[in-house]
Amino acid sequence: MKRFLSVVTLSLVAALFAFAQFGCAGPQPATSTNTNMAISEPTPDKAAIERELLRIENDFARVLKEHDGEAIRRVEADDIAEIIPDGSTSTKTQDIADIQAGNLSADSWEVAGGGEGYRARQ
């Protein structure tokens, strides 16, 4: 009987300790204080982005005609690696130099739909 009473007492103490540690937690704050948490950004206007990209692409004939290297400097990535139709490669610096020197020309520049690429008419 003594042994039964000590087992029950020990079990009760263990249960109370467990409830004190895990079951009696206070209410959690409604907002997080974590400053590293990702903040949701507003959804970008995809139609506006598409219009701007098409405007830049359709302006390419003017860029070539007017040898506007500054326009290329604004839109091309600094680490661009172009593959020319003959298989050679070019960089942004070389691309700007070629456009400013008039080494590239086209009377019109057409953006084909569906990811087909570009067609230039010389």
56 contacts: CB under 8 Å, gap ≥ 6: 75
Residues of the chain with pLDDT > 70, as a percent, come to: 61
Q: Rounded to whole angstroms, how far apart are CA atoms 60 and 48? A: 19
Nearest-5° Cα angle at 121, 80 to 102: 55
The highest-confidence range among 13-17, 83-87, 110-114, by mean pLDDT, is: 83-87
Helix (H, G, I), strand (E, B) or coil at 31: coil
Question: Using CA atoms, how far apart are residues 60 and 95, in angstroms rounded to an integer?
Answer: 13
Between residues 13 and 66, the one the model is more confident about: 66
> In sequence order, what are the beta bridge partners of 31?
none
- Say whether pLDDT at 37 is over 60: yes
Question: How far out from the chain centre does Cα 68 lie?
Answer: 28
The mean pLDDT of 107-117, rounded to a whole number, is 57
Residue with tokens 């467990």: 18
Q: Cα–Cα distance between 82 and 79 in angstroms, integer? A: 10
Rounded Cα distance, 6 and 4, in Å? 6
- 20 or 62, which is more confident? 62
At 12 the pLDDT is: 66
- What does the pLDDT look like over 38-95, one tens digit per residue? 777 888 899 999 999 888 888 888 888 899 999 999 989 999 988 888 889 999 999 8
**Site of tokens 């206070």:** 26
- Is the pTM here over 0.75, yes or no? no
Res 36: pLDDT: 73
